[in-house]
Amino acid sequence: MIPVSEPDLGALERSYLLDAFDSGWISSRGAYVERAEDLLRTLTAAPHAAVCSNGTTALHLALLAAGVGEGDEVIIPALTYVATLNAVYYVQAVPVVVDVLDSTWCIDPAAVERAITPQTTAIVAVDLYGQTADYRELRRIADEHGLILIADAAESLGATLDGRAAGSLADISTFSFFGNKVITSGEGGAVTTPRADFHTAILQLRNQGNHPTRRYFHDIVGYNYRMTNVAAAILTAQLERASELIAQRRRVVDEYERLLAADERLRGQEIAAGAAPTPWIHSVRLTGRSAVERDAVITALAERGIESRPVFPLVQDMPFVPAAQRTPTPVAAAISREGISLPTFPRLEASAIAQVCQALRDVLSSFADGE
């Protein structure tokens, strides 16, 4: 089976991991935590970076640091991983779900503007499948209405917009280092920000609300969202290899585009002017297909030894979302219904990519023949 995703862990990860183990520093103190944070600052050009336990706790820390709380409205896109929504609920805020752009699949700034009310305090944009959201427009809107702009950059480490790196495009940006992400530490996350006040709050919240100087004194309710030095050792190695890992993924995505671009039955994410996405998971729309047909394609590919996935379901369709929060988002609904994610990882060979593309074309043709 060709998997959708596979981490690329090599000799460097192994040596740093064993070094952390042998040092005895296996909890959240140790040199690798700081090394990983240094590398993240360099890679994102963000003045401050704090690693944490995963991408979901990174989002929670971002909302807490931004002061988002009970009754506040937070605008999020319909098309994202459920963690973006969950974090809004963690702080007792109200998610206001808006539609995405047909072109980039990222949050639609015009829809954001229409959704603003006196209760709105923050926007969480999501860099879907490695493509940065439209932070030029989002910045203008946030400034005009006094809102905090948060970037869920879990999928976009290495991407740029107008030459500025993901992690430096919003007031606070969050990353995930889950096993299928561009850079992984098994489980892990990070928060970057240009603002010293946000960074100070994040460090305290991540560490049980511990007062910066008084031991065992906690002046706020905090969390244990720390990353272990063991995970940070793997992360440090991955970050040192970031350009190599991203280049390998780029090769894979370029090959998919070369082989599939001419196929009119498929439509990919369009790249916005000035944007250079990071190649995370190559996803395409099976234009005009129903969700049932898309799922049949996934099953048919699996029968040919190829794992694929549906594009994310809409967050507001989750059963725990109250009826009043289930905004209709037709563009996101169409992408979600037609979308399929193909195997994308650094070690995926050209022959396997060709096999995936051939299988996809064969399956689509068999559909046209009325299978």
Ligand X SMILES: *Cc1c(COP(=O)(O)O)cnc(C)c1O
Note the residues at the interface with ligand X (CB under 6 A).
Answer: 54-56, 80-81, 83-84, 126, 152, 154-155, 176, 178, 189
**DSSP secondary structure code for residue 249 in this structure:** H
- Closer to ligand X by CB, 228 or 359: give it: 228
Closest approach, Cβ 80 to ligand X, in A, equals 5
Closest approach, Cβ 298 to ligand X, in A, equals 19
- Closer to ligand X by CB, 30 or 189: give it: 189
Closest approach, Cβ 305 to ligand X, in A, equals 26
- Closer to ligand X by CB, 83 or 235: give it: 83
- Closer to ligand X by CB, 148 or 153: give it: 153
Say which residue the tokens 């996935």 belong to: 309
Work out the widest C-alpha separation in the chain, in whole angstroms.
73
Distance from C-alpha of 7 to C-alpha of 27, rounded to nearest angstrom:
23
Closest by CA to 77, choosing from 340, 332, 271, 341, is: 332
- Closer to ligand X by CB, 154 or 357: give it: 154
Closest approach, Cβ 58 to ligand X, in A, equals 7
Closest approach, Cβ 321 to ligand X, in A, equals 17
* Residue whose C-beta lies closest to ligand X: 55
- Closer to ligand X by CB, 55 or 346: give it: 55
Closest approach, Cβ 84 to ligand X, in A, equals 5
